[in-house]
Chains A and B, each alone.
Chain A
Amino acid sequence: MSVHTLSVLVENRPGVLARVAGLFAARGFNIHSLAVGTTEDTQYSRMTVVVDLKTKSLEQVVKQLNKLINIIKVVELDNDAIERELALIKVRARGDDRARIIEIADIFRARISGVSRGTITVEATGSADKLAALQDLLAEYGIVEMARTGVVALGRDDRGIKERMLRAASDE
């Protein structure tokens, strides 16, 4: 298994997500997670796609994505990129379990975002590994349901993806 995080700058238009998702499906690329949101420029959206490549090459994924007309730029983020994901985990919490769950949440610097008679909802942010560890510990109490955003990520270097784009264009 080889997991890669791609940062994809796209035109902010209807149907672009369908194009990307459709391309992944048609070419047999496996999506681990996909998060879409606006950027500092309303013309563009950023997709953060974590792909799991068993047989296909990353090069093919990037090249095929680049062929989509509405895609501005695709970069693979380095291992040291800032990658974050948010998870909401609703855990069964009765009696003494409540205190233990809160303690676990504290250790992970997670917040308690909701409480009901029988559950606590933990809100945690972090890397996929950290969230998996938290999930693992909370599973013991019984997870009622969970939602994760998928990874969003930014490279650590000085330049943003758009500057890289402009530079690439002026290189030609």
Chain B
Amino acid sequence: MRQRLPALVSLVAVAAVLTALPFVLSSYNTSLVTQVGIFFIAVLGLNILTGYSGQISIGHGAFMAIGGYTTAVMSRDHHTDLIVTMLMALAICFVLGLLVGIPALRLSGVYLALATFALAISIPQLPLQWSTFLGGTGGVQSSNPDVRFLWHTAPAMPERWLYGTAWAAAALLFLAAWLILRGRVGRAFRAIRDSEIAATASGVELPVYKTLAFGISAAYAGVAGSLFVLATNGFAQPTEFGVILSLQLLVGAAVAGLGSLWGVLVGAAFVGLLPQVSTSVPVIGSDHGRDVVFGMMVVIVMLLLPEGIAGLLARLRLLVRA
């Protein structure tokens, strides 16, 4: 218990800060931290897949799209409660993730990565095909009254609902991830990551756990996608879910590194905040800052921390112990 204390204390501290922030920050800055929460969920999911079970996906933007459209369409057509749509997104993406995980068993390494990349490119095309139902390029606008509540009153208010929902979801999913990973499932995942052959030899049923990892990570991405659409004023449109989104998730997961949930927070902040912040860099200007500064930062961070924040923390821990 004494060993756990520092971790618990820092957890409580972070929770306290996150709870206080929306009351201290301006509405716009609050929405930036909301983005971090959204990416936290998505990167957490991707981390479970990549970091813990060793399968690479550059396609989770597609699951975010599916989750986001679920929320928008259900809200538009049936005025479903937004939290309920998020649960629906979770369930639908879990099932779809399992379905993707099955053929993924045949592929490995870079082939899997590129196959999921193909997914990321293809899925956003589908709303263009079924444009009456899925809005085409005109997008789908959520119409749930809760969403409109966001913009009713003075500017200071609206962001807090979304912020609270996003970070509450993040906390719950974080807890869920922690429970999953410390149990049998987590051990199976780690065994698979370290050596598939050894894991099979030890009795771990590869197909079950690998597919499960896909399902779980897709479910997380679905919830993140749901919140992502809500953060875009409830408007879902194909351009929001381009290839860049999947690449951003991958970057976030890489910055996070393996095996550290703190890393996930930093990774999420990196991809959630940096692109917006980059537009304020002088000289380069707001038009080009987003690409030039962010791109440069990605390169630099990876050069300095090839194993991500998790690697950094692991090394620091060694230093502290020494």
Are A and B part of the same complex?
no
A residues sitting closer than 8 Å to B (CB atoms) are none
